[in-house]
Amino acid sequence: MLEALLFDLDGTFADTAPDLAAALNRLRADLGLPSVPAEQLRPLTSQGVRGMLKGGLEMLPSDLRYAEFYDRFLHYYSQDICVETTLFPGIEPLLEALEGRCWPWGIVTNKAQRFTLPLLARLGCAKRAACVVSGDSARRAKPAAQPMRLASALLARRPETCLYVGDDLRDIQAGRAAGMLTVAVRYGYLGDGKPIEDWGADHVVDHAREIAALAGIH
C-alpha cells in the first residue's frame, strides 16, 4: 500500500538543464571558447558538476585546475539558478492530485542543500514539500540507501510504502536499496550509461501524468 511519493530533482521534477548549461557556457566564455548547445549537455546534467565539466570542457577530477573550475561553475550557477528552469510537464497537476489526497511528497536529490532549497523556493515548491533531502543531508548520497531512508523517516512512512521517481540509474539503485517501489522517467536526462530498460526499475514512464496511475491516484 503506497502512502507517499518522492522525486529526484534534476531531470525528474524540474528541467534544470538550461541553467546548468548556461553556467558551463560562462566557463567556456572565460576560456575564449564558443558556447555548447544546451541539448548536447542535457544527457550529462544528472551527473552533476563532474558530468558538466567532463562533457563541456573535457575536464576530469585529476586535472590541475579542476577544483578551480568546479567552484567557478557552482558560483555561476548560484547566480542564475532559476532563470529558465521549470517544472516538467505534468508535475504540477501531479502535485495537486497528491495534495488533494493528503499524500505527502518530497525531494531526494544529490544536489547540495545550498542549491536545492533556493531552487525549490523559486519554483514555489519549498513549502509544499513534506521533506527535502539533499546530497549533503545524509552520510552518503545516492546510489546509497541512506538518503532514501532519511526521507521516509522525515515523512514518518516505511520505505516500502514510498514510490521513488528518478531519471538516472543511481536513483533506481538507491530506491531499490531502501526497499521502495521505483519509477524511471524516460523524459529525463538519462545519462550516458545503460539503457533505461536495464536499470531494474519497477516501472518506466514516458510522461509525469502516468505516475499518478501507478500511485493509485486518479
pLDDT grade, residue 47 (50/70/90)? confident
Same domain (yes/no): 99, 198? yes
> For residue 94, what are the β-bridge partners?
none
Same domain (yes/no): 90, 198? yes
Give the three-class secondary structure for 81.
Answer: coil
Single residue among 79, 97, 118 that ends a domain in this structure: 79
Bond into 143 cis (ω within 30)? yes
CA distance 152 to 85: 27
Query: Which pLDDT belongs to residue 70?
Result: 96
Same domain (yes/no): 61, 122? no
Same domain (yes/no): 29, 110? no
Give the three-class secondary structure for 40.
Answer: helix
CA distance 134 to 147: 8
User: What single-letter DSSP state applies at residue 150?
Assistant: H
Same domain (yes/no): 21, 55? yes
Which is catalytic among the residues 10, 15, 19, 167? 10
Query: Which pLDDT belongs to residue 192?
Result: 77
User: Residue 176 CB: number of other CB atoms within 10 A?
Assistant: 19
Same domain (yes/no): 148, 195? yes
Does residue 73 register a pLDDT over 90?
yes
Q: What is the average pLDDT across 41-62? A: 90
Name the domain count of the chain.
2
pTM of the predicted structure, to 2 decimals: 0.95
Same domain (yes/no): 110, 53? no
Does residue 218 register a pLDDT over 70?
no
Q: Is 112 left (phi over 0), alpha (psi -120 to 50) or beta?
A: beta
State pLDDT tens for residues 161-208.
999 999 999 999 999 999 999 999 999 999 878 999 999 999 999 999
Single residue among 79, 104, 129 that ends a domain in this structure: 79
The CATH number covering residue 136 comes to 3.40.50.1000
Single residue among 79, 105, 128 that ends a domain in this structure: 79
Query: Which pLDDT belongs to residue 144?
Result: 98
Same domain (yes/no): 112, 156? yes
Domain that holds residue 127: 4-15+85-215
Catalytic, 19? Answer no
State pLDDT tens for residues 94-110.
999 999 999 999 999 99
Same domain (yes/no): 74, 155? no
Same domain (yes/no): 174, 201? yes
Same domain (yes/no): 206, 99? yes
Catalytic, 10? Answer yes
Does residue 89 register a pLDDT over 90?
yes
CA distance 123 to 145: 27
**Mean pLDDT lowest among 18-22, 43-47, 60-64, 69-73:** 43-47
> For residue 108, what are the β-bridge partners?
133
Same domain (yes/no): 96, 75? no
State pLDDT tens for residues 104-163.
999 999 999 999 999 999 999 999 999 999 999 999 999 999 999 999 999 999 999 999
